[in-house]
Amino acid sequence: MRSNDLLESFREDVSRALQNNLVCLLHHGSRAKGEARPDSDYDLVIITNQMDKELIKTLQIVFTKYPRFSFYLLTLDELKTMPKGHYLEFLYAKPLHGTLKMELPTKKEVISYVNYMRRETLSILRHTLILPHSKERKVRLVYYFLKQVYICLSYLAFSESGTLPSTRKQTIANFRKQKKERLGIRLLGILEDWESYKEDVASNPQPYLFMLEEFFRKLHIKQL
């Protein structure tokens, strides 16, 4: 099934399942921005008025038909408690149902959120490097944290210019022009060309984890 048809089928199933409880359904992430690999997930945001056990069970049934779909599931009240910097993740999202009116975060709110992500990421990376973990888990974390590099750098670009780069290539170009974040650019290059790197990462993820730890440790965040 084509991507558009698959998304339309999902929209219909979620709308039918949640009815008036569904506030908004958004498609975001790499597929929405045209950066997806063939095996990339479909990333969705589901916003509801209320949440309970029956709603979760209903969505369990819906998602059995869509194994490559991942999502945020939030109520309107929960959305209001999210760090404002997180809102940037939904900036280029495509609405499938309803609309989501959100004010852009301030540059200070974005920097605060990047600092939070940086601390959390460093904690997990150091835990993974020091304590025993399976190679499979380490490989998964390499790919996950490469995406975190992208988020952090694109958000930093927003904090400096007020404009969020919409793609990895734009983010790379932004920092190349400024001659900054060279390790970050290198890591984004690995993410961009993942098919060429994934075999090497699978054989020995450790050097990539050390590169990621160094990036987040040295990430320059200019306070406002």
Q: Is 13 helix (H, G, I), strand (E, B) or coil?
A: helix
φ, ψ dihedrals at 67, nearest 5°: -65, -20
- Comparing CA positions, the residue from 119, 116, 110, 118 lying closest to residue 85 is 110
Q: Give per-residue pLDDT as tens, 7-50.
A: 999 999 999 999 999 999 999 988 998 888 888 899 999 999 99
Distance CA 192, CA 174 (A): 15
Question: What pLDDT is stored for residue 93 in this prediction?
Answer: 92
Taking 60 as the threshold, does the pLDDT of residue 224 lie above it? no
pLDDT per residue as tens digits for the range 157-182: 999 999 999 999 999 999 999 999 99
Q: How confident is the model at residue 122 (pLDDT cuts 50, 70, 90)?
A: very high
HSE of 75, CA atoms in CB hemisphere, 13 A: 9
Name all domains of the chain by residue range, CATH numbers in brackets: 3-97 (3.30.460.10), 107-218 (1.20.120)
pLDDT > 70 in the chain, percent:
98
Residues paired with residue 45 on neighbouring β-strands, in sequence order: 26, 72
Strand order in the sheet with 42-48: 69-75, 42-48, 22-28, 94-97
Give the C-alpha separation, 193 to 190, whole Å. 5
Q: What is residue 223's predicted lDDT score, i.e. its pLDDT?
A: 64
Residue 122: what are its φ and ψ, rounded to 5°?
Answer: -60, -40
Closest CA to 172 of 164, 161, 181: 181
